[in-house]
Structure 1
Amino acid sequence: MIFLRFLVSLLLIGSALAQKKPDAMPPPADVTKNLETLESLVPAVQNAEKDLANLRAELTKAPTDEAKKEITERVDAQRERLQQLRENFRIVATGVEDKSYLSAAEEEATFDNEFKDLLKPLFNGLREATAKPREMEELRSELRTWIGRQKVAQAALGRIQSALGPVEDAGVKKELETARKLWSSRVDEATSETETLSRQIEEREKNTPSALEAVSGMLSDFWRSRGLNLLMAFGIALGVYFLTRRVYRLVRKVSPIHRKRGGGLMARSADLIVAAASVVLAFFAATLVFYLKGDWLMLAIAIIFIIGLLWASKRALPPYIDQIRVILNLGSVRQGERLIYEGIPWRVDALNMYCDFSNPDLTGGIMRLPVKELLSLHSRPSDSKEPWFPTKENDWVRLDDGCFGKVIQQTPEQVVVLRLGGSLKTYPTSDFVEKCPENLSRGFRVSTSFGIGYGHRDIATSQAPEMLQEAIHKHLVEVLGREQVRSVKVEFKAAAASSLDYIVIADFAGDAAQRYAALERMIQQACIEVCNEQGWDIPFPQMVIHQAV
């Protein structure tokens, strides 16, 4: 994916830069400065012609083959120098170089050449967009070189001229004169090159637009030509895509394979194929626009994008096979089933690139996940009576950590419990489920123990349980109401060390859940009242000490 993003960015930048091409025509000339430069170049050309004529004369008089070979090399070098000087003269006079007019020969048609031709519009655009900066840098670099040569040649010529004055020996003077002519010609050559290059740089700098003008001109040219083509292609591609999807939605309404709820394998396969075909048709329509408009650069970009996409698909497609299997309802997660995600149960409503889930017992219980998140999950069929969450809002609960209160909000992220006294305790939803909440709003049971003294052994298993049960039931009904007390049962539990113990079991309706913490105290209170009415003693732990005689 990083490769594709880089490729798209490069292609778009190339497309934009290609709009601003360097001018092929010579820039307007400053006639006065051009004439001054041309007048300074004429003596250098004339001196080079004289030196070439002298060398040719020496060649005819050369006594040996070695001398002829040496003079021939000097003649060739002088001829190249004369050609360079004349080319400099023409550059200053015309404002263009010969290579701007001459074209390259046509290459042989091979696969490599054809592929290069396909990429040529893009790389030509990039090359032309950077032509001026590259030319300016080449000219400046060459100017620095010739300035250095000019200084060296002037220093050498000055030293030779200073040595010519006091010399009286004819042989030495002849050699010095030959060296003086050589370095004098080099000074002229360096001066000619320096002036020519300086003039070229000056003209290019004068005709170079500012950065703002260059960018604005580039954007203006882009939107006048390729920008319009790009906008048209984008609009037609969107139109083709949405038209294809719209037509398919109409077909789905009458298609027999889509009548089954949840969609079968054929329906999901058709959905996936049409989705892919819509993208392909949209891209083909955009490419066709470039072809019909004759925009070869954008067409080349489109083709290169396709090649890059196909190349990247070699590694990108295999991970999507499992995702496609899930979308086709053939994976470990099936539509309409139940799965656990982050500790919370969810119903699978729809499988697609983004899958929809819901939990009817949670506020805002709708979730959307990318299909790749489902690869490590699994679902199972759900029973119609199976709850989707342990509680509902306004239910009273008791948790493993001892928290008791009413659920006032439960969402996929958090559950808020209102505790007695008004404080709020918030749990992450998954942590709330892990606390094994006991829902008291559907009904609950309270159990407690009570004991009487051993002096009432005769009624301990007959009258005492009945009297306790009747009194407790009557007391609870008076306090809570008959509809909230479902049943009360008292049974003999055990003969303890100092008491006869009974277990009291009371069942309540869910409406009494808010008084859960007080119910055990109510039961103990009713038991005390019975003991007071009947005169039963209530035992307490005792220690008997036997004293030895």
Structure 2
Amino acid sequence: MKWLLFIFLLMVAVPGFASVNVDALLKTNRNVEWLDKEIEKINLNLQGKHSFSTRRALEKQMDELKGRRKKVFLQFLEESSGVDIEALSEGKPDKKEKLLDEVQDILLPLLESIKRLSAKPRQLEKIKNDISKLHELINNRKKAKESLLNIQHDEQFISTLPLINQGIDELENEIIKLEIELDGKTRLIKKEEAGKTSFITRLRAFISDFVKTKGKNLFFSLTTLVLLYWVLLVSRNQVFKFQIFTGKLEFIRKTLMTLYSSISLTIAFMGAILVLYVLNDWLLLTLIVVILIGVLWSLKQYLPRYIGEARLILNIGPVKEGELIIWEGVPYLVKSLGFSATLCNPLLSGGMLRIPVQEFFSKQSRKISGNEALFPTQKDDWIRFDDGSIGQVKEQTPEVVSVLKMGGGIKTYNTKDFFGMGLENITKGFVISEVLGLDYSIQAEVLNQVVPVFFKKMKEYLYQESYIRDFALNFNCEFHSAGGSSLNLVVFLECGGELCKYYYKIKRDIQRNFVRIANEENLTIPFEQMTIHQG
């Protein structure tokens, strides 16, 4: 009964004792004793004379046994104390950590330079973490030592007493070492915090160091890049100015120029990298390589777009230089194709447009015919609308067209809508036709007598005006039709463009002279009649 009470009190008083397996401890103790005997045998064997290869084999066997003995002893401490001593030890890195280490080795120059600016804060943080971990290790070892002291005098573990005493001594030594390390870390963090500098000061020092070292190397590298590319571009202009790239070879000229430019840029870029290699600046070299990898990776998803742009730039896509394209409802000439396309319409003010080349993926150009105009009008041209009114173009741009209506104000049209209206440009000439009616009482004489009289007198009266006499191209007067209430004559006057501003005056002169001739010849001008049928 007393023995059961002792076991109960021991389970309550000793942390982790309830989980102690006596049979497992005895088995572990026997393994340690056997390993000690084997180590002793090899140690005695090594004291004799042996060949070099035999001695090496015995030493290797000795190291293996000592390693096994250390693992078994650690297992004994954990089983006897109920404390996971190895949990706080540094474990082996897994595959992910190894891969991360390899990546860090590759990017080490870049990472070291970037981390230099925050070295002090990170160092203080590391010391604080180390202090926290040391506290945990000390508490862990003290807990294990306390557990071993509690079972040291238990009769169940009398056979393992030497191993328990050894464990207590080793834990005590390790606690002392950890406390010494903890004291050193504590004093170090106090010293670092006392001499701590501001972030601005460290940033200023970093920039100053960069300008003196990396900045100089970067300047040499960029200078090499610019000079090499400039020299190669000058050479390109000299090569492609020869006449061999005209005629049938004109279509490959731009392709070869683009290829030459790409090779030139690559050579200049490699030259800049070579300068950094010669200067042994692995930081900037690594940074450039990382940027290059990033650019190449970004090309993966944009590759179809870049291929389309390349076809347009090389002048082998659906839109070609020198051809006509409709852009926002207005025709333009494709003047050049590059990363941005230049569209030109010389008939529009400000008719030079620069458009990103990717906007032309869904467009199609065509060859322009010899006499095809890029716009129906020019500035100051006269136009005649469908309702018979006329106006003069005062301004036309890619966005709007302003027209001064004769007898009215200025009207503004959207350029796309204006282009699609199908207006008549009368600047170079036009025809005025006026239909005039006479009474049916002259039906018998109208063809042989009346029409010739009107032709002679109308031309005579009209040509008395100097502006008509100077710029009228042709005149005619003839029978037009038999209307519902009159016999109709028509007067045609073909005018030069100089008469545009007299357009309405000429129409009034024709009407006025018609009435004058009718009065002279005692002819009746009927009024329009409406016939009403009564059912």
Determine the structure 2 residue equivalent to 1:443: 429
For structure 2, the residue ranges without an aligned partner over 5 or more in a row are: 1-24, 30-72, 86-91, 136-175
Shift of the alpha carbon at 1:520?
2.5
Relative to structure 1, is the Cα distance of residues 111 and 216 closer, same or farther in structure 2, using a 3 angstrom cutoff? closer
5 Å-filtered alignment, 1:480-495, equals: 480-495=467-482
2:266 matches 1:280:
yes
Shift of the alpha carbon at 1:338?
2.1
Relative to structure 1, is the Cα distance of residues 247 and 542 closer, same or farther in structure 2, using a 3 angstrom cutoff? closer
Q: Return the alpha-carbon distance in structure 2 between the equivalents of residues 265 and 486 of structure 1.
A: 48
AA aligned to 2:298 is: A
For residue 284 of structure 2, the aligned residue among 298, 321, 328 is 298
2:397 matches 1:411:
yes
Other structure's SS at 2:402 match: strand
Report if the CA contact (8 A) 2:240-2:257 is conserved.
Answer: no
Report if the CA contact (8 A) 1:401-1:435 is conserved.
Answer: no
Determine the structure 2 residue equivalent to 1:526: 513
Report if the CA contact (8 A) 1:400-1:435 is conserved.
Answer: no
Shift of the alpha carbon at 1:364?
3.6
The number of aligned residues is: 420
Other structure's SS at 1:212 match: helix
Other structure's SS at 1:526 match: helix
5 Å-filtered alignment, 1:23-62, equals: none
2:499 matches 1:512:
yes
5 Å-filtered alignment, 1:434-473, equals: 434-473=420-459
AA aligned to 1:257 is: I
Relative to structure 1, is the Cα distance of residues 238 and 198 closer, same or farther in structure 2, using a 3 angstrom cutoff? same
Q: Return the alpha-carbon distance in structure 2 between the equivalents of residues 269 and 542 of structure 1.
A: 75
Q: Return the alpha-carbon distance in structure 2 between the equivalents of residues 476 and 202 of structure 1.
A: 114
5 Å-filtered alignment, 1:93-242, equals: 116-137=104-125, 200-242=188-230
TM-score normalised to structure 1 length: 0.66
The C-alpha deviation readout for 1:255-283, integer Å capped at 9, x for no partner, is x532449x624322221111111211121
Q: Return the alpha-carbon distance in structure 1 between the equivalents of residues 237 and 530 of structure 2.
A: 88
Other structure's SS at 2:338 match: coil
The C-alpha deviation readout for 1:44-95, integer Å capped at 9, x for no partner, is xxxxxxxxxxxxxxxxxxxxx89x99x9789999xx9xxxxxxxxxxxxxxx
Relative to structure 1, is the Cα distance of residues 358 and 493 closer, same or farther in structure 2, using a 3 angstrom cutoff? same
Other structure's SS at 1:406 match: strand
Q: Return the alpha-carbon distance in structure 1 between the equivalents of residues 532 and 217 of structure 2.
A: 111
AA aligned to 2:472 is: V
For residue 270 of structure 1, the aligned residue among 245, 256, 279 is 256
Q: Return the alpha-carbon distance in structure 1 between the equivalents of residues 278 and 178 of structure 2.
A: 54
Other structure's SS at 2:443 match: helix
Relative to structure 1, is the Cα distance of residues 145 and 478 closer, same or farther in structure 2, using a 3 angstrom cutoff? farther
Shift of the alpha carbon at 1:439?
0.6
Determine the structure 2 residue equivalent to 1:347: 333
Report if the CA contact (8 A) 2:403-2:410 is conserved.
Answer: yes
Determine the structure 2 residue equivalent to 1:390: 376
Report if the CA contact (8 A) 1:363-1:409 is conserved.
Answer: yes
Relative to structure 1, is the Cα distance of residues 212 and 470 closer, same or farther in structure 2, using a 3 angstrom cutoff? farther
Q: Return the alpha-carbon distance in structure 2 between the equivalents of residues 138 and 415 of structure 1.
A: 73
For residue 240 of structure 2, the aligned residue among 228, 232, 252 is 252
AA aligned to 1:344 is: V
Shift of the alpha carbon at 1:287?
0.7
Q: Return the alpha-carbon distance in structure 2 between the equivalents of residues 281 and 245 of structure 1.
A: 12
Relative to structure 1, is the Cα distance of residues 494 and 265 closer, same or farther in structure 2, using a 3 angstrom cutoff? closer
Q: Return the alpha-carbon distance in structure 2 between the equivalents of residues 456 and 327 of structure 1.
A: 75
TM-score normalised to structure 2 length: 0.67
AA aligned to 2:196 is: T
Determine the structure 2 residue equivalent to 1:317: 303
Report if the CA contact (8 A) 1:257-1:267 is conserved.
Answer: no
> Which stretch has the larger CA shift, 204-213 or 218-227?
204-213
Determine the structure 2 residue equivalent to 1:11: none
Relative to structure 1, is the Cα distance of residues 116 and 204 closer, same or farther in structure 2, using a 3 angstrom cutoff? closer
Relative to structure 1, is the Cα distance of residues 144 and 525 closer, same or farther in structure 2, using a 3 angstrom cutoff? farther
Determine the structure 1 residue equivalent to 2:15: none
Q: Return the alpha-carbon distance in structure 1 between the equivalents of residues 391 and 530 of structure 2.
A: 42
Q: Return the alpha-carbon distance in structure 2 between the equivalents of residues 310 and 387 of structure 1.
A: 45
Shift of the alpha carbon at 1:531?
1.1
2:526 matches 1:539:
yes
Determine the structure 1 residue equivalent to 2:415: 429
The C-alpha deviation readout for 1:384-410, integer Å capped at 9, x for no partner, is 222222112221112358763211222
Share of identical aligned residues, percent? 32
Shift of the alpha carbon at 1:497?
2.9
Shift of the alpha carbon at 1:291?
0.5
For residue 328 of structure 1, the aligned residue among 299, 314, 334 is 314
For residue 487 of structure 2, the aligned residue among 500, 504, 523 is 500
Q: Return the alpha-carbon distance in structure 2 between the equivalents of residues 272 and 397 of structure 1.
A: 46
Relative to structure 1, is the Cα distance of residues 313 and 544 closer, same or farther in structure 2, using a 3 angstrom cutoff? closer
Q: Return the alpha-carbon distance in structure 2 between the equivalents of residues 113 and 137 of structure 1.
A: 21
Other structure's SS at 1:517 match: helix
Q: Return the alpha-carbon distance in structure 1 between the equivalents of residues 485 and 388 of structure 2.
A: 32
Relative to structure 1, is the Cα distance of residues 463 and 201 closer, same or farther in structure 2, using a 3 angstrom cutoff? farther
Report if the CA contact (8 A) 2:468-2:499 is conserved.
Answer: no
Q: Return the alpha-carbon distance in structure 2 between the equivalents of residues 499 and 289 of structure 1.
A: 98
Report if the CA contact (8 A) 1:472-1:488 is conserved.
Answer: no
Q: Return the alpha-carbon distance in structure 1 between the equivalents of residues 178 and 490 of structure 2.
A: 120
**Aligned CA-pair RMSD:** 4.3
Report if the CA contact (8 A) 1:353-1:370 is conserved.
Answer: yes
AA aligned to 2:338 is: N
Other structure's SS at 1:347 match: strand
The C-alpha deviation readout for 1:521-546, integer Å capped at 9, x for no partner, is 22211111111111111112457899
AA aligned to 2:217 is: N
Report if the CA contact (8 A) 1:348-1:356 is conserved.
Answer: yes
5 Å-filtered alignment, 1:338-377, equals: 338-377=324-363
Other structure's SS at 2:503 match: helix
> Which stretch has the larger CA shift, 129-138 or 444-453?
129-138
Q: Return the alpha-carbon distance in structure 1 between the equivalents of residues 432 and 389 of structure 2.
A: 17
Relative to structure 1, is the Cα distance of residues 396 and 351 closer, same or farther in structure 2, using a 3 angstrom cutoff? same
Q: Return the alpha-carbon distance in structure 2 between the equivalents of residues 401 and 209 of structure 1.
A: 85
